[in-house]
Amino acid sequence: MTNPLLSDWTGPFGLPPFADIRDEDFGPAFDAALAEARAAISAIADSPAPPDFANTVAAQELAEQSLDRVAGVFFNLAGAESTPAREALQRELAPKLSAFSSEVTMNRALFARIETLWQARDSLGLTGEEARVLDLYRRMFVRAGALLEGADAERLKDVKSRLAVLSTQFTQNLLADERGWSRALAQDELEGLPDFVVASAKAAAEERGAPGHVLTLSRSLVVPFLQFSPRRELRQEAWRAWSARGANGGETDNRAIAAEILALREERARLLGYESFAAYKLEPEMAKTPQAVRDLLMRVWQPARTKAIADAAAMEEMLRADGINGPLEPWDWRYYSEKRRRALHDLDEAALKPYLPLEAMIAAAFDVANRLFGLEFRRLDVALYHPDARAWEVTRQGRHMAVFIGDWFARGSKRSGAWCSAFRSQRKLGGEVRPVVVNVCNFAKGDPALLSWDDARTLFHEFGHALHQILSDVTFPFISGTSVARDFVELPSQLYEHWLEVPEVLERHARHWQTGAPMPADLRDRLLAAATWDQGFATVEYVASALVDLAFHDGAAPADPMAKQAEVLAEIGMPHAIGMRHATPHFAHVFAGDGYSAGYYSYMWSEVMDADAFAAFEEAEDPFHPEIAEKLERFILSAGGSREAEELYTAFRGRMPGVEPLLKGRGLLDVA
């Protein structure tokens, strides 16, 4: 039988033939695609023709098309719909793909051709995009070890291979811990929980084939449980299980893996001539140096900590009023914060959620994209990889722009969190290719699915990433879509969140799922007035994680990451009742790959820009101002990595921003 991963995809819009793909197809497809890619790279490196941009750089851009196609399907499925066979293959593939990457970037003949072009770049008559791509290719090769020789080169290959294995193991251990823990809830243990939490617990039980109601470690279930359950001993049990992911001993314990990853990263950086992994990692980013990152984080830390301590004192009084002695604990914070929010803002999330059904929030995200960028969305009837996933064709003035896939519900086969990815990225090289983009979330399933305000923000956030892919308009895959500096990539996503708070968006789309009535104006006003509610907590749990990440990578790797984590938290005065947003054993951003390693700060770096960017619309007194929207698309969303991030932002806004809009947006500007 023909392997569907290797045959032409003739279905609608060239979508992968999901219905025909079996797990056993992936191994042979990867073998064939790797062989094809190796042959193509060898042909470029060994070509007798003098190097030019077309036969060296552009040729490389197309050399791995089959591999990119197979990997695009496999790794998206491995994250969103894992199976034992896929997990086993992922472990097998990690060193194979790392070895191939090292073969390419350490191919001396190939690098010599790139170096020849780079040295002569000013005389080649390159376009701006071509010059940028050549520069990025040369930088990638050098940072991957192309200048190393002998034992150092071989050691770097081994280090990268081992890192690939460890990051895969870290991810799978975390998924196993999340999938493996559940807690049946007796009828009396449901008392005090809003209907939507009870419904989510029932859906979680059904998904596991269990009767009654079940509490799981899905964020969309455990967080509202911690927020609403009046049973303190149950909150403690849930919080301890949630915070212990990756640190339960046995085969799925991630602590030793984290230590080895950090040691190997330090070795990798030193082999390449850097004093630390943070110095290596941050060099191509907007921040450039560990000190610049630390300066930003500490600028925000102090007012956030001050606010959080004041909030904790107020909640401790509530704890005492409930007859509980002892300090406020991490499993108490969300519960008493919710009670306090109801008291101070008359805002009850249980009353809010009926106005935030998933379908309406999807429609809101699409509507904003239509009003800003003229995009239209048509539902597609196509086979996808899971019944919960849905697809739309995205068009503009009749032109096909992309296929967008939404996969929003939590399930045991899906890793935690929320993310945007692509089965296929945009490019013009070799003919116009439009993207196939997917948003993956972990919302609680319900009939209907009702979102929290945080869930709705997450939906808008991930759709902002999707727009970065959908509107991409570059020639080369290397700079397409979200292929930008890590501390710039969160700008489109975090910026898009702002439109969820635009009153006319809420008025149009935040409607009661049963009656269709719009959210009452007073409820909407109270919601927006409480927009900065609990930002001391939210900022502290995030910044603490970012500072620990930075400390792990700035200097010698700690032999005991857990001891280093405790040391950092003690140094900054971490409030007792707040846990890190991501503690080390389940810090997937940092240990499930290199993406956010020494880079978790990037959400806040981007937030400095997103607050300032939305201010451009506020200054124009029009959240849909057409000229500003056009500039946003031209310089940010469609430009990919075609220029340095700072250049792109300055082209959009005329200058770089200060930290004040961020502090104002979090309600921390005037905190002493």
DSSP secondary structure letters along 35-94: HHHHHHHHHHHT-SSPP-IIIIIIHHHHHTHHHHHHHHHHHHHHHHS--HHHHHHHHHHH
**Does residue 139 sit in helix, strand or coil?**
helix
Distance CA 131, CA 124 (A): 9
Distance CA 439, CA 390 (A): 10
Overall size of the chain counted in residues: 672
Q: Could you give the strand order of the β-sheet that contains 390-396, starting from the edge strand earlier in sequence?
A: 376-380, 390-396, 399-409, 436-443, 419-424
Q: How far lies 456's CA from each of 400, 475, 519, in Å?
A: 27, 34, 15
Distance CA 352, CA 453 (A): 8
Distance CA 150, CA 167 (A): 26
Eight-class DSSP state of 479: G
**Does residue 117 sit in helix, strand or coil?**
helix
Q: Which of 462, 490, 497, 633 is catalytic?
A: 462
Spatial contact of 167 and 596, defined as CB atoms under 8 Å apart: no
532 torsion bin: left (phi>0), alpha (psi -120 to 50), beta (else): alpha
Distance CA 537, CA 393 (A): 40
Handedness of CA 310, 315, 316, 320 (dihedral sign): positive
Distance CA 466, CA 151 (A): 43
Structure tokens at 354: 């009926």
Compute the half-sphere exposure of residue 100: CA atoms within 13 Å on the CB side of its CA. Answer: 20
Interior CA angle at 327 toward 321 and 331, to 5°?
90
Nearest CA to 559 out of 280, 273, 261, 249 is that of: 261
Q: Is 462 a catalytic residue?
A: yes
Residues 6+ apart with CB under 8 A from 415: 79, 80, 82, 171, 174, 175, 178, 588
Distance CA 40, CA 56 (A): 11
DSSP secondary structure letters along 196-234: HHHHHHHHHHHHTT-SSEEEES-HHHHHHHHHH---HHH
Strands 419-424 and 436-443 turn out to be antiparallel
Spatial contact of 189 and 182, defined as CB atoms under 8 Å apart: no
Which runs of consecutive H residues, i.e. helices, occur in 429-502? 453-470, 490-497
Residues 6+ apart with CB under 8 A from 364: 460, 500, 505, 508, 509, 510
Q: How far lies 172's CA from each of 158, 220, 272, in Å?
A: 21, 20, 29
Eight-class DSSP state of 122: G
Distance CA 291, CA 601 (A): 12
Residues acting as catalytic residues: 462
